[in-house]
A = this chain, B = another copy of it.
Amino acid sequence: MRPNKRDELVSKALEVFYRDGFHATGMDKLVVETGVSKTSMYKHFRTKEDLILAALRLRDENFRTWFMRRVSELADTPADQLVASFDALGEWFEEDGFRGCMFIKAGAEFQEKSHPIHLQAAEHKRLILIFYTDLARQAGARNPEALGCQLLLLKEGAIVTAVLVKSCDPAKDAKAAARVLLDSALS
């Protein structure tokens, strides 16, 4: 039960769950794709739910790390970073394997509010909200909580729209909207 082996399994499972969905991905498929045996899989993870939770934890870490780093690379001041975050999103949308937000999908497939997977998806969004609220506060917004939530709306809407609506350029429109909302929150 080498710990790095476990990490490998989580990483591969994350990839397959993200690509094919949670209910649509059986443990047998994961066993084939990872090359490990079913018994080994269940030595590392008590249930499929445990594996999904581990994959979501990894995804949360990966995404937020990438997102925050990229935002800080793209702009220097909090105000500019608020706006630049939508450029970062736009880069993500253009990636080959882009399939929308894993946590929106997790929340959609496990809808009970008390379900551990639903709760973990909600926790990710809470952390993103905090990220935006902090930036809004540092930028000097009159009501950082309200602006943070509005930026979260734009981000989530942009992701959904990037998946489902071809005739839009959601990253561009969200960025423009963010600038307007920021200006309005500062004046």
Contact = CB atoms under 8 A, between A and B. Distances in A.
Given A153-B153, A165-B122, A108 B111 contact: no
* Residue of A20, A24, A160 contacting most chain B CB atoms (<10 Å): A160
A165 B109 contact: no
Interface string A20-46: 110110000000000000000000000
A90 interface: no
A126 interface: yes
Interface string A143-174: 00010011011111110110111111110011
A176 interface: yes
A108 B108 CA distance: 8
Contact of A156 (B103, B108, B161): B161
Contact of A108 (B19, B21, B126): B21
A117 to B, nearest CB: 12
B154 A153 contact: yes
Interface in A48-80: none
A47 interface: no
Contacts of A170: 149, 153
A177 B165 contact: no
A104 B164 contact: yes
Contacts of A125: 161, 164-165
Nearest to A23: B23
B111 A21 contact: yes
B149 A161 contact: yes
Contacts of A168: 129, 149, 152
Given A105-B108, A157-B155, A160-B160, A126 B176 contact: no
Given A122-B164, A157-B157, 4 more contacts: A23-B109, A153-B174, A154-B177, A180-B181
